[in-house]
Structure 1
Amino acid sequence: MEIRIARPSDAPELADLHVTCWAETYPGLLPAEEIARFDRDFRLRQWREQIARGGSRIVIAPGAGFAQIGPQREAALAARGYSDELHALYLTRAAQGRGLGRALLAAALGPAPGRLSALVLGGNDRACRFYEATGARLAERRPERIGTAEITDLLFLWDAAPRP
């Protein structure tokens, strides 16, 4: 399967993939109205802005998934040497279980991977197992509110470059 750096013309595909993956992954973990709030128009604006802004590495496997790694957004983690953050890694359900997640992670890491962090929605057990299999450890549980939902974000840290 082709994996490549996302181009501006990929924003519609990224939006479609993002909406599909949320619809497949988060029912039961997030309220339906929260999933629906992040519709295709929202995601299209998001991806157009992300690609135009630059500063992160966005890779796409057309029709299957995408990943984005960028600079660490939390100063405390950056100060501890976690210079990069996995902002997103999504695969459609049909694309899961074939090694594509590892390939997307490797492509998004680029040639000189460093220490990395990621936040995962509590209850997303498949993602947690994947991150642990690539060398991450669960470092912290963080309560959060999204809309009306009380959720838990799980902070995963890779103390060395991930093992895709």
Structure 2
Amino acid sequence: MDIRPALPDDVPDLAELHVTCWHETYTGLVPAEEIARHDRALRLRQWDRQIAEGTCRIMIAPGAGFAQIGPQREAALAARGFETELYALYLTRAAQGRGLGRALFAAALGPAPGRLLAMVLEGNDRACRFYEATGARLAERRPERIGQAEITDLLYLWDTAPAL
């Protein structure tokens, strides 16, 4: 599978992948109206802005998935030495189980990621198993809201580079 840095021309594919993966992953974990609210139009604006800003690494496997890694967004975690955050790692259900997640993750990480973290929605057991298999540890459970929905985020930390 072709994995490469996302370019402005990839915005429609990123948006479509994001919407598809949200439906496949979060149905039953997040209310349907919240999934519907994160539609293609919202994702087009999001990815157009993200690529234009250029502050993170976005790798795409066209038609199959993407990974996004950038600077830590939370000052308290950055102060603890977790300067890098995995913002997103999404694969369509059809693309899972073939090593593509590891390959996207590795490509987005770059050469020396240092200490890293990711947030995972509680109930996304496949992602939790994947992160644990790459050396992450569950460090914290955090209540959060997505629109009107109360959810729990799981904070996974890698103290050393992920085992990819």
Aligned to 1:51: 51
- Greater alpha carbon shift after TM alignment, 112-121 vs 84-93: 112-121
Aligned to 2:160: 160
Unaligned runs of 5+ in 1: none
Runs ≥4 in structure 1, deviation > 2 angstroms? none
Query: Within 5 Å, which residues of 2 pair with 1:29-68?
Result: 29-68=29-68
Tell me the alpha carbon deviations over residues 61-99 of structure 1, each in whole angstroms, 9 at most, x when there is no partner. 001000000000011111111110000000000000000
Structure-1-length-normalised TM-score: 0.98
- 2:15 paired with 1:7: no
Tell me the alpha carbon deviations over residues 19-78 of structure 1, each in whole angstroms, 9 at most, x when there is no partner. 000010001100000000010000000000000000100000001000000000011111
1:155 Cα deviation after fit: 0.3
- 2:132 paired with 1:132: yes
Structure-2-length-normalised TM-score: 0.98
CA distance in 2, matches of 1:90, 1:74: 22
1:127 Cα deviation after fit: 0.3
1:148 Cα deviation after fit: 2.4
Aligned to 1:85: 85
Aligned to 1:122: 122
CA distance in 1, matches of 2:113, 2:55: 15
SS of the residue 1:152 aligns to: strand
Aligned pairs, number = 164
Tell me the percent identity: 80
- 2:107 paired with 1:107: yes
Q: Please tell me the root mean square deviation across aligned C-alpha atoms, in Å.
A: 0.6
